[in-house]
Amino acid sequence: MNRPDLHNAFDETLIAELTAACVALDDNPEVRVVILAGRGKSFSAGADLNWMKRAANNGVDDNLNDARALAGMLRVLAEMKKPTIARVQGAALGGGMGLASACDIAIASSKAVFATSEVKFGIIPSAISPYVLRAIGARQAYRYFQSAERISAERAREIGLVHEAVEPEELDAKVQEIVSALLQGGPLAQSAAKDLIRAVNNQPINDNLVEDTAHRIAHLRATPEAREGISAFLDKRLPTWIGE
């Protein structure tokens, strides 16, 4: 995101550009991992208040279209086939916290700060709620959705919002460490792993679920990627997807 003077706050233009970028990167077979970052001192301050002020003066239909565009962008990011990492170096407020939550992995600088600050403006964190709830759970959301308290990087790690909180000078090295680990995995398998989580999470363990998981592994074992991965391990060599 490249609106540093506005703390990478998003308006209709940035929402459209982020959506298009996610689609293009997901469709590019040469891209293995997608890192979402923001230029300047902030990751993202969420929605541009001037954009929101304009929206407040519009009718319900225009507001609904804007809300759908934001919700759609977050969904495209969250459902990318490729692994995604949020590199959070500074403030991630409102929609910015939603962006971090929508990524598969979030790595934060110890200087980063988070908040679902919407209630301070008389609104709610509606579009981001599925992804924030997925990250921190309903119990924490009851507190932070209503209090709009600032959440430190360390507290964010404690509640599951970020996976790692490191000193600012260590942020890029930690992101690269995670990227290096991700590059060891098969691309098809990683995409299937994301689908698996969505299918299994919060579901009762019953015959249907067990049968579904059996089908998933059976189909994946028969793919060229799986055959290559198993052969490479047995042959004590790197699989072809490493270093491509």
Distance between CA 96 and CA 38 in Å, rounded?
Answer: 10
pLDDT of residue 64: 84
The amino acid sitting at 73 is: M
Give dist(CA 55, CA 63) in Å, integer.
6
For the chain, the domain total comes to 2
- Maximum Cα interatomic distance, the chain, rounded to a whole number of Å: 66
CATH of residue 65's domain is 3.90.226.10
Query: Do residues 196 and 168 both lie within one domain?
Result: no
Which residue, among 106, 119, 134, has the nearest Cα to 202 in the 3D structure? 134
Residue 240 lies in a domain: no
By CB atoms closer than 10 A (0-12, 13-18, 19+), residue 112 is buried
Tell me whether residue 243 is in a domain.
no
Domain that holds residue 68: 4-182
DSSP 236: T
Q: What is the pLDDT along the chain (244 residues), one digit of tens a residue?
A: 999 999 999 888 999 999 999 999 999 999 999 999 999 999 999 888 777 777 667 767 777 888 899 999 999 999 999 999 999 999 999 999 999 999 999 999 999 999 999 999 899 999 999 999 999 999 999 999 999 999 999 999 999 999 999 999 999 999 999 999 999 999 999 999 999 999 999 999 999 999 999 999 999 999 999 999 999 999 999 999 995 5
Measure the CA–CA gap between 152 and 160, rounded to whole angstroms.
12
Contact present, 48 and 11 (Cβ < 8 Å): yes
**Token pair recorded at residue 71:** 């919700």
Q: Is residue 173 part of a domain?
A: yes
Q: Which helix (H) or strand (E) holds 87?
A: strand 84-88
Q: Is residue 124 part of a domain?
A: yes
**Is there a single domain that holds both residue 20 and residue 119?**
yes
Residue 166's pLDDT is: 97
> In Å, what is the CA distance from 156 to each residue of 88, 113, 136, 139?
11, 8, 9, 14
Among all chains, which residue has been given the structure tokens 């891209």? 31
CA 108 to chain CA centroid, Å, is: 13
Whether 131 contacts 86, CB under 8 Å: no
Residue 225 lies in a domain: yes
Residue 244 lies in a domain: no
Assess whether 127 and 207 both reside in one domain: no
The reply to whether 70 and 159 lie within a common domain is yes
